[in-house]
A and B are shown apart, each in its own frame.
Chain A
Amino acid sequence: MTTRMLGAPITRREDPRLLAGQGRYVDDIGAGALEVAFVRSPHAHARIVDIDVTDALDVQGLVAIYTHEDLPGRVGEPLPLLIPHPALTHGRTPCALAKDEVNHVGEPIVMVVATSRYLAEDACDRIRVSFDFDPPVVGIENARDGAQLVHDDVPGNVAAHLVQEVGDAAAAIDAAPNVVELDLDIERSASMPMEGKGVWARWDSDDRSLRVYTSTQASTSVRAAVAAKLGLEADRVEVVAPDVGGGFGVKIVHPWPEEILIPWAALTLGQPVKWTEDRREHFVSSAHERGQLHKVRAGFDDDGRLLGLDVTFWHDNGAYTPYGIIVPIITSTQLLGPYKPGAYRVEFFSLYTNTVPVTPYRGAGRPQGCFTMERTMDAIAQHLGLDRTVVRERNFIQPAEMPFDHGLTFQDGRPLIYDSGDYPASLEKLKKLVGWDEFEQYRTAARAEGRRVGIGLACYVEGTGVGPYEGGFVKVETDGGVVVATGLTTQGQGHQTAFAQVVADELGVPIDKVTVTTGDTRRFKYAVGTFASRAAVMSGNAIAVAARQVREKALRVAGEALEADPRDLEIVDGVVQVKGAPGSSVPLATVAVLSNPLRYAFDEETQRATQFASPADPDRPPVAEGDSPGLEGTGYYSPPRSTFANGMHAVIVETDPDTAEITVLRYCVVHDCGTLINPRIVEGQIHGGVAQGVGGALYERMVYDDAGQLLNASFMDFLMPYSTEVPAVETDHLETPSPLNPLGIKGAGEAGVIPGSAALASAIEDAEGFRITRMPISPSELHHLRVQHELASSAEKGLEA
């Protein structure tokens, strides 16, 4: 019997290549291409008066200089607004090169093509752009104030305004015996993959086709956008996501200006052209996320049960809205986590600022929502003097209440209905893992040593595997190899391993026979993309559907060859055999040969499929009606709605009484993403998410000054965690399969990052004894909070005296 691959923690099949230095990332491809550098805006808000390129013309190796007025037709029109929404009444997108005005530092103004990047940058240095300045709008308070406008035709800087309400929240809160109110603040961070963006393009004038390599999370959609912008038939455009050095959301946005400009330049110049983003460019011209201000009112009974919850928040969407309002929609719905909120009202304003656009970063609005809900739970516990886990338990949706309909509309336009999950069991596991009930003893012992420690927790529910669909292609080659393709892309999730595991099981072949290709439009044309923790759910199931088709056909063709009923056959280790009589068998390789009737043989094996090789029914066509040649299948998976994973984190911190340094002593994770394809890969996803959660809670922030300059646009000043900043992560799993898909999978990619700020705020608050409302928090901020609280409490004592 073949070893079952689904659920096996096997090592990754892509690793030997990547470890040997044989990876192929965009900048590794296409040596000898012309190279591009950009003149980007040094100002946050200005009108372009003049662009003088005279001095640049002398640069050796210069090939071309382009500004907006050089861009023909659709190339020069604003980039697409990818996800329109009725509430997004004032959506704005930039042009590929700035037209007349710039709205954030880093916006591209001039594209220079030269024989090398060094020379292209030399030319950029010699181009002078003169500006008339407008006052920049920086920060949510200034945007909300509306005194200055980012876009003249967007009143109050409001791109979108959306309200969702279930029940009468205001009335429920007013009638509640207890009420808490909170003002909360989460700052900006960014995906910050180790590889920035990059694009290579070549126009083949003989074949009249365009090939584009781009470091993207959505190659099929880049293809559609490039074809539309350049006026080419989509069939003449191939877009490939090669090895991608991390995405975390920022590469789902498309087409980036460069994804249109580089192919256009290649087409125009008739030579291969490439651009590789440098780190500073990535900081100022890609995308950020997270910045939101929340105002919360919660009404609850004396047991801590929510009766009504009213949340208003302001979302900083930066200068443009290419990805619509997906992030605040997710915040507003996923805020609810594993809880029943009673009556719920949520209202948000998505606001323009003169800063880098905001689009999804791993978690995509959930960390902010989780922060708000979990801070509220802690505030309720404090108000009533209850244990924080008790308040959470009392508000949990119970397993028997699944599926649970919140009565809201989720980010996919579909109802927010949780499919499954056992939150009480998850919390029980977490309490045990972290030793929740024993913590007070630990605190007492620590206190005796003069140490200050605290414990915190946070729970989340994550809608994963959003539609509309993904597809999969599975083909058995005549040598017995199995090739698999799916259209969505890979940026480190181990799809070449996980999807091969699915196929190995479904088809009954050894996994080393299976080769998986992702994100290559030459191999699979229809796809949506890799985001929202959807790849395993969507493509995993689509590939399973395709593999089942192949299996069915293999059994049918083999049945004819073996003169057996297909129902009596099984496939074991790549061989079709009669159950219980393995002597009567035919290898899948031979079945593949037989499934494609041939006139011409190309080797000894394929002679078996030629027209004189064996007697055939002269009255039947060689390929039966409704059948097709080849042992292959194409399948699609399109879910009715998202499937909801969940998890809970608990963290123990120590805060230094003198320096206010915050040290994470333990970090515990309980996670439920349904059926696991490869536990080793899922565990790795959690580790990485936790590191980004810790980074977002304690270190990472985008620091803009009032002029709209990003002051920390380098790895020297933007503090991403190194190994010494990330605690050891202890994990435990629950597997509550999703009833929505054949494999029972839920997504796992984003989970680890979601509750980081919430759990750490809870623990720091517990250590310090005063409320934490802003994240990230640095030692100096914690120190200032201590001083404020000491002053406030001594003032209080003075009054009492």
Chain B
Amino acid sequence: MTDIPADEPLHEVTVVVNGVPRAAAVPARRLLSDFLRHDLGLTGTHVGCEHGVCGACTVLVDGRPIRSCLQFAVMHDGAQVTTVEGCSSGDGGLGPVQQAFRDCHGLQCGFCTPGFVTTITAYLDENPQPSEDEAREAIAGNLCRCTGYQNIVASVLRAAELRGSTGEVAQ
């Protein structure tokens, strides 16, 4: 039995999410995933297992993919966070990874998709022109129960193509 104090102390956490500074006062045990979803209302990030295996909750913290269900919000005070909502193009339309998923039918129910979009966004920054084998490996830490991954692999390759053509390649 955990001992919870009658009045759980709150901590002010400020993060820059998708370029916008956002803040909320939360208990120390508030998960980053819950903070994003329920305190900031960014419900695009999904929680599929709460033990860091499925990858649906993947967000980018300072550009690197992390499992937001395994982190406390207070650990990331002051961080730059990118969620699926921030993977759009400059004009608010679909970003290249999102567009690639649409072109290739890379999603069905859409629940795991945000974690794939953020993971692939970070991956293509590192490796802008993956081979098919590399694309398959790049998504091998995320679970999807609908697609059998065939079209997600295709989406990675398509996203690389789209980024290349729009000049959105890593510096």
Contact = CB atoms under 8 A, between A and B. Distances in A.
B47 to A, nearest CB: 7
B111 A195 contact: yes
23 contacts: A18-B113, A19-B107, A19-B110, A20-B84, A21-B85, A23-B110, A31-B38, A60-B4, A60-B7, A118-B30, A122-B4, A193-B109, A194-B54, A194-B144, A245-B46, A245-B109, A492-B146, A687-B149, A691-B149, A716-B51, A723-B136, A723-B139, A724-B140
B43 interface: yes
A285 to B, nearest CB: 15
B143 A27 contact: no
Interface stretch (B73-81, B123-131, B150-158, B163-171): B150-158
B49 A279 contact: yes
B56 A194 contact: yes
B111 A715 contact: no
Interface bracket on A: 35 or more
Interface string B64-89: 00000000000000000001110010
Contacts of B12: none
A244 B108 CA distance: 10
Contact of A60 (B6, B98, B110): B6
Contacts of A21: 42-45, 83-85, 114
Nearest to A193: B145
Interface string A673-684: 000000011011
Nearest to A15: B102
Contacts of B152: 723
Interface in A221-278: 243-246, 248, 278
A701 B109 CA distance: 24
B46 A25 contact: yes
B105 A11 contact: yes
A3 interface: no
Contact of A118 (B29, B85, B88, B112): B29
Contacts of B48: 194-195, 245, 279
Given A21-B114, A60-B6, A722-B142, A492 B109 contact: yes
Does more than half of chain A's interface fall in helix, strand or loop, or is it mixed? loop
B1 A126 contact: yes
A20 B112 contact: no
Contacts of B45: 21
A256 to B, nearest CB: 18
B62 interface: no
Interface in A1-55: 11-12, 14-16, 18-25, 27-28, 31, 55
A691 B10 CA distance: 45
B94 A720 contact: no
Interface in A176-213: 192-195
**Most B CB within 10 A of own CB, among A15, A31, A680, A728:** A15
B141 interface: yes
Rank and list the top 7 A-B pairs by shortest CB-CB distance, nearest first.
A21-B44, A245-B111, A492-B109, A691-B148, A18-B110, A492-B108, A687-B148
Given A15-B101, A20-B98, A279 B50 contact: yes
Interface of A: 11-12, 14-16, 18-25, 27-28, 31, 55, 58-60, 118, 122, 125-126, 192-195, 243-246, 248, 278-279, 491-494, 680-681, 683-684, 687-692, 714-716, 720, 722-724, 726, 728-729, 752
Given A15-B101, A714-B53, A243 B139 contact: no
Given A20-B44, A716-B51, A684 B147 contact: yes
Contact of A125 (B1, B50, B114): B1
Contacts of B53: 714-716
Nearest to A117: B34
Nearest to B54: A715
B113 A726 contact: no
B41 interface: yes
Interface of B: 1-2, 4, 6-8, 27, 29-30, 37-38, 41-51, 53-54, 56, 83-85, 88, 94, 98, 101-103, 105, 107-114, 117, 136-137, 139-153
Contacts of A684: 105, 108, 146-147, 151
A537 to B, nearest CB: 19
A639 B167 CA distance: 54
Nearest to B41: A31
A494 B4 CA distance: 45
Given A715-B54, A723-B153, A246 B145 contact: yes
Contacts of A15: 101-102, 107, 110
Contact of B148 (A244, A248, A688): A688
B109 A195 contact: yes
Contacts of A680: 105
B29 to A, nearest CB: 7
A722 B147 CA distance: 11
Nearest to A13: B102
B136 A18 contact: no
Contacts of A195: 46, 48, 109, 111
A618 B130 CA distance: 74
A194 B143 contact: yes
Contacts of A493: 108
Contacts of B56: 194
Contacts of B145: 192-194, 246, 248, 688, 691-692, 720
**Most B CB within 10 A of own CB, among A58, A278, A723:** A723
A246 B107 contact: no
Contacts of A11: 102-103, 105
Contacts of B151: 684, 687
Contact of A18 (B105, B107, B148): B107
Given A19-B110, A27-B47, 20 more contacts: A18-B113, A20-B84, A21-B84, A23-B111, A28-B37, A31-B38, A55-B1, A58-B6, A279-B48, A279-B51, A491-B109, A494-B108, A687-B149, A688-B146, A688-B147, A691-B145, A692-B148, A720-B143, A722-B143, A728-B150
A493 B45 CA distance: 21
B105 A715 contact: no
Nearest to A276: B47
Given A11-B102, A715-B49, A723-B153, A194 B112 contact: yes
**Most B CB within 10 A of own CB, among A60, A245, A724:** A245
Given A20-B98, A22-B44, A27-B47, A722 B141 contact: yes
A12 B102 contact: yes
A55 B152 CA distance: 49
A480 to B, nearest CB: 25
Nearest to A248: B145
**Most A CB within 10 A of own CB, among B7, B38, B83, B140:** B38
A559 B170 CA distance: 61
A16 B109 contact: no
A752 B145 CA distance: 13
A723 B123 CA distance: 16
Given A18-B113, A279-B48, A716-B51, A12 B1 contact: no
